Amino acid sequence: MKRKNLLIFNFCLIVVLFQTAGAQTAWTPVKRAIAASIDRQRTDLTGMSDAIWGFAETAFLETQSADVLAAYAEQQGFRVQRGLAEMPTSIVAEYGSGKPIIGILGEFDALPGLSQKAQVEKEPLVEGAPGHGCGHNLFGVASLGAATAIKEMIASGQLQGTVRFYGTPAEEKYFGKLYLARAGLFDDLDVCLDWHPGPVNDANTNSSMALIDYIIEFYGKAAHAALDPWNGRSAVDAMELYTTGLNYLREHILPTSRIHYQIEKAGDVANVVPEYARIWTRIRDPKRENMMAVYERALKIAQGASLMAEVDYKVTLMSGLHEILVNRAGATALHDNMELVGPIQYTSGEQDYAKGIQRATGKPEVGLDGSIMPLQETVPITQGASTDVGDVSWIVPEIGLTGATAPLGTPWHSWAVVACGGMSIGHKGMIFAAKSLALTMADLFQNPDLVAAVKKEFRERKGDYNYKPILPDAPPPIPAKG
């Protein structure tokens, strides 16, 4: 009899645990209300996204784009602050009070030279103008839409706590989140979420590349290149010796490390020994410590180049990024909500458009995949991009997703992404992301155990590392207008 009672007890316990686990991924009244809110916002969100797509403003110049987002947040009843951390286009919009404080990140800067019409043939709207080749016109809008849906639940008393939207400028060049991090604006968050446009729907379980940016300037002595070149000391000679050294170094670094550079200034005319040269260098690796080791060697190469050419040199640290600290507990909750939202459904016209993009970019014409990818194992990355979300993830537990806004194989940072971000393919990915993020935020507000699990994993993965920005102690490099 005792054994029978024990079996009954164990069975009941399993049922309770199963019901508790599933409760967070079921269509509860709160989650239905959140999804309905985003559906009601669809026209506004699409309009804002298209407006920002048209503005296509680059790093720290996103004045109109920031105005669109800030105005919408104010209309929805958020407490809105502008210009934080010395960045005129930064936004923090908050609603509610008390704990938990759940943040969500949004970007809205464009890339230079990628202007493109919303069509499958490559054709710029304005020759040489910027374009949203990374889909950031969708990014900030979806995140604000998700925050607005949560705000409505707090206002109605169905959720308790604080929701905070961060409009973060200049991700593509100057990494605006670093300045917000340095100002302590993420320090009181319990959890933070973000997303990024891509070719698939995926809860992020892998990291990113740490990155360091620096400028080297060489200062030589001008002379006539034919009459008396012995009187000159060529800054360009030093720069070429430096790049030669970097390229020889490639053989002797980890296969995961990356070195790339852009020559910004290399003399003016052929008949003058150039007295000034300038080069922008970027180094990456999946691990911050490996990246810094390559950086230290690169600085020695610069010193050696200046000695060989007998010129002076100066190194200016521009910026640096941490890799993303993965949080699988958060990713699991997010993935469950992505499954709840369900795959993105496309029309035959959208599939034809996608295949046209693939054909134009030389990719297999397989169309769009709106399904949700299975939750992936966390494995060490060997290549990839970098993001200032990485720094946020070392301050507060960070949960992110990739949302499908362009067809499979689309070259990122290209005209093809711009072409999809300005029409319904991009819009559908934006709405999918907004719903998935908002439903996950609801879980975090309603389930203290989930927040505790996310924080516990964060502490374990972070260990005893004390986050410190790689960013130099200088104000953000806001470019002069006009």
167-194 pLDDT per residue, tens: 999 999 999 999 999 999 999 999 999 9
Q: Are residues 277 and 369 in the same domain?
A: no
Q: Are residues 42 and 147 in the same domain?
A: yes
Q: What is the pLDDT of residues 225-281, one digit of tens each?
A: 999 999 999 999 999 999 999 999 999 999 999 999 999 999 999 999 999 999 999
What's the CATH code of the domain at 269? Answer: 3.30.70.360
Domain count, the chain: 2
Q: Are residues 399 and 333 in the same domain?
A: yes
pLDDT at 126: 97
Q: Does residue 271 fall inside a structural domain?
A: yes
What's the CATH code of the domain at 46? Answer: 3.40.630.10
Q: Are residues 161 and 72 in the same domain?
A: yes
pLDDT at 215: 97
Residues 197 and 138 sit within 8 Å (Cβ to Cβ): yes
pLDDT at 482: 59
Burial code (b: 16+ CB inside 10 Å, e: under 16) for 454-475 equals bbebbeebeeeeeeebbbeeee
Residues 219 and 312 sit within 8 Å (Cβ to Cβ): yes
**Domain of 245, in residue numbers:** 211-320
Residues 100 and 106 sit within 8 Å (Cβ to Cβ): no
Residue of 206 and 11 predicted with greater confidence: 206
Q: Does residue 14 fall inside a structural domain?
A: no
pLDDT at 2: 38
Of the residues 320, 347, 381, which one is the last residue of a structural domain? 320
pLDDT at 380: 80
Whether 10 has a pLDDT exceeding 70, the answer reads no
pLDDT at 281: 98
Q: Are residues 329 and 452 in the same domain?
A: yes
Of the residues 278, 303, 320, which one is the last residue of a structural domain? 320
As a whole number of angstroms, the distance between CA 207 and CA 197 comes to 16
pLDDT at 5: 42
pLDDT at 18: 38
Q: Are residues 238 and 160 in the same domain?
A: no
Whether 480 has a pLDDT exceeding 90, the answer reads no
Q: Are residues 130 and 264 in the same domain?
A: no
pLDDT at 84: 98
- Provide the token pair at 26: 């079921």
Q: Does residue 476 fall inside a structural domain?
A: no
As a whole number of angstroms, the distance between CA 482 and CA 478 comes to 12
β-pair partners for 276: 219
Q: Does residue 72 fall inside a structural domain?
A: yes
| Alpha-carbon radius of gyration of the chain | 25
Whether 14 has a pLDDT exceeding 70, the answer reads no
Q: What is the pLDDT of residues 440-469, one digit of tens each?
A: 999 999 999 999 999 999 999 999 999 999
Whether 11 has a pLDDT exceeding 50, the answer reads no
Q: Are residues 261 and 331 in the same domain?
A: no
Q: What residues contact 349, with CB distance under 8 A and at least 6 apart?
A: none
Q: Are residues 137 and 216 in the same domain?
A: no
Q: Does residue 348 fall inside a structural domain?
A: yes
Q: Does residue 90 fall inside a structural domain?
A: yes
Whether 150 has a pLDDT exceeding 90, the answer reads yes
pTM, entire model: 0.92
Q: Does residue 316 fall inside a structural domain?
A: yes
Whether 394 has a pLDDT exceeding 50, the answer reads yes
Of the residues 275, 304, 320, which one is the last residue of a structural domain? 320
Whether 24 has a pLDDT exceeding 80, the answer reads no
Q: Are residues 374 and 425 in the same domain?
A: yes
Whether 325 has a pLDDT exceeding 90, the answer reads yes
As a whole number of angstroms, the distance between CA 173 and CA 343 comes to 33
Residue 289's pLDDT band (cuts 50, 70, 90): very high
Q: Are residues 85 and 177 in the same domain?
A: yes
Q: Are residues 259 and 129 in the same domain?
A: no
Q: What is the pLDDT of residues 82-92, one digit of tens each?
A: 999 999 999 99
Residues 88 and 82 sit within 8 Å (Cβ to Cβ): yes
Q: Does residue 22 fall inside a structural domain?
A: no
Percent of the chain topping pLDDT 70: 95
Residue 411's pLDDT band (cuts 50, 70, 90): very high
